[in-house]
A and B are shown apart, each in its own frame.
Chain A
């Protein structure tokens, strides 16, 4: 823990003490831990000389930041318009039901977390699902089960 904290101190020192550094620092914090932990918020607020509630106020405004630890694998279901009209919501519901997880949360065994995203920009290949860094195109319920089984 101490080692992690010290590496984040280094990250902090690479940023100017100004409001404009807040979002990049939150992004770095999430990159390191997978989420925005209360400890990191405390560190950032101290470094930028802002209150913790100010930090939370900005962090909670943006959909990128999460406040609970992620699962081992992150599943993002695209619900952009092209994916919506091609059945993206069915995929989201199916994953939710099969893995017993709600969007924004992780499974009880911490294997997966599920989130809905506005658009991954692969609209011509809708509907798409992203697991970690891999994007799967033209997914349907049958393909989805196969894809997820590769991560189980």
Chain B
């Protein structure tokens, strides 16, 4: 029996023991999202509660299962019962749950989210019956939120590295054939066939080849890569081992954003673990295959998501793209053949090797096989990270999984700054690379930002263009100058200073930038403008002709006022107003001086947030 088999056997026993433990085990969701929601405080509260009630229990930190809106999440396994999951646990609730679950052994008032057992349990539904999880197919996110990302044993116990073991028994060509047959396409956005990319690199003769994992998740509003690495870093490493073996690479880089400190920590830890057990290094598992991995921290440039720009950045240069061909698979990093794959692509690879390409092809639709993760955020009820088969209609994602919007749904924005806005009438569009492109958007890396009636599409287009314009590397003129002009035009519209012919000018500039830019950043930059002009033109026309922002967002086109009969005179707004525009004695309706108001929204927020305020401050178009 080889070393790895021994460790696996031990790991399986350990995992089994963890799920049927003698003393209680408490799992805490401690990915960045959980921490932002207060998981550290919850951990402390649990430790104190355990101490108070003199209970011995093991605490294990896990990643995120994806239902981020329920963070902090805590699971408990005890007394021969299945693992039971609790959501929205604050310090107070943590103490309550520990007391009820572990001391009084009474689950009747604890309101768990669900259990993770095999059979039905006590009238508590299974966790995966939860409306957000029910329709998901979890392949790449299989372990997320369930295992300890800091433990290689947990990964091994759940079939970890068995895909790589299988790959090592095949010839590299056979591995590539398996991936090609699975129809896996690049999950970073462009959707290029992964198998074909690998084959090009494999077939190119060279003394040195590189594998690069693109974890430079630059899309604002997307966090698929962060969540996967924080919750299951070994999945990525296993995918990299398989890819490197297939293409013949000896050195791999993980290019990861410096903004993700926890993900970097998880990777460093995981790299040490695989090195220690001989899965990384020279002559891995007694084969002729040698491979090592280095982490490169990105320094913050959206354009580095583009492969050639990313290569330049690793080489220590400004991250500027170059024309292709030659493609990186032929001439990439340091002029050597290089495969660049996204985190999710590589995280999927082990599952294809473990279960076979035919298994993988049962998910998704012809030409778009498998699953894709999406970050479902914005004005949505159930926000978080989801994984669904390709071909799932947007309506199902937003309304069944996401629970829809509070206010009327307006649009969904896919693909980050390079994507477009999709209106209600197109929500039955199945999500595939082609269908999204046909309606003017892109798949992108998987951001789905849901917008409701409170979102102004002109303001959103301005926001995206402003982002792209700042991130443009400046190499080619259409992107450098064109995006600047577009931002200026959009600003005049938002300020109510535009002339009616501006929409045609904007559209022709957008098309020019789209057709003449050098790289994907510039070519897709106008998508947000073009799709909003196409599907929401009346909203632009209202801004231009009537100086009216229907969503009441564009600050030059709105006014604040106080509804006297609702005002409780609580003075909260008086204290937050930075310019002294609001005055009035306590318990009497306040007065707002429009000439001093800078429309900072502080009073509006406090009037809605504070219990004693009366929702008296309203925003109007200034026309009524």
Contact = CB atoms under 8 A, between A and B. Distances in A.
Nearest to B579: A97
Interface string B549-570: 0000000000000000000000
Contacts of B605: 87, 90, 140-142
B297 A27 contact: yes
A142 B609 contact: yes
B133 to A, nearest CB: 15
Interface string A107-123: 00000000001111111
Nearest to A76: B259
Given A19-B316, A117-B259, A27 B299 contact: yes
B37 A118 contact: no
Contact of B299 (A26, A97, A117, A126): A26
A26 B258 CA distance: 13
B449 A82 contact: yes
A80 B600 contact: no
A98 B576 CA distance: 10
Interface string A21-59: 111101100000000000000000000000000000110
A142 B576 contact: yes
Contacts of B376: 124
Contact of B316 (A20, A65, A120, A140): A20
Nearest to A82: B377
B299 A124 contact: no
B181 interface: no
Given A119-B221, A120-B32, A61 B449 contact: no
A34 B296 CA distance: 20
Interface stretch (B378-386, B495-503, B530-538): B378-386
B33 interface: yes
Nearest to B456: A85
A24 B601 CA distance: 41
B301 A61 contact: yes
B316 A81 contact: no
A64 B375 CA distance: 24
Interface residues of B, number: 66
Contact of B463 (A81, A120, A126): A81
A19 B317 contact: yes
Nearest to B230: A121
B260 interface: yes
A27 B302 contact: no
A81 B601 CA distance: 19
Contact of A90 (B218, B297, B455, B601): B601
Contact of A23 (B35, B220, B299): B299
B135 to A, nearest CB: 18
A125 interface: yes
A119 B298 CA distance: 14
A61 B319 contact: yes
B308 to A, nearest CB: 15
Given A79-B220, A119-B222, A136 B317 contact: no
B32 A93 contact: no
A140 B576 CA distance: 12
A74 interface: no
Contacts of A18: 316
A128 B36 contact: yes
A24 B295 CA distance: 10
Nearest to B224: A121
A3 interface: no
Contacts of B221: 80-82, 119, 123
Nearest to A78: B220
A148 interface: no
Contacts of A83: 220
B228 to A, nearest CB: 11
A68 interface: no
B80 interface: no
Interface string B605-621: 11001100000000000
Nearest to A58: B318
Contacts of B578: 94, 97-98
Given A121-B259, A141-B606, A20 B315 contact: yes
Given A57-B318, A58-B316, A125 B68 contact: yes
A85 B316 contact: no
A151 interface: no
A74 B315 CA distance: 30
A135 interface: yes
23 contacts: A23-B299, A58-B316, A61-B319, A63-B299, A81-B221, A81-B417, A81-B447, A84-B460, A119-B217, A119-B221, A121-B33, A121-B223, A121-B227, A122-B223, A124-B33, A124-B69, A124-B71, A124-B376, A125-B33, A125-B37, A135-B35, A140-B605, A142-B606
Given A24-B297, A58-B317, 17 more contacts: A23-B316, A58-B318, A64-B300, A85-B378, A93-B600, A118-B220, A121-B32, A121-B222, A121-B223, A122-B36, A124-B33, A125-B33, A125-B383, A128-B36, A133-B261, A135-B32, A141-B601
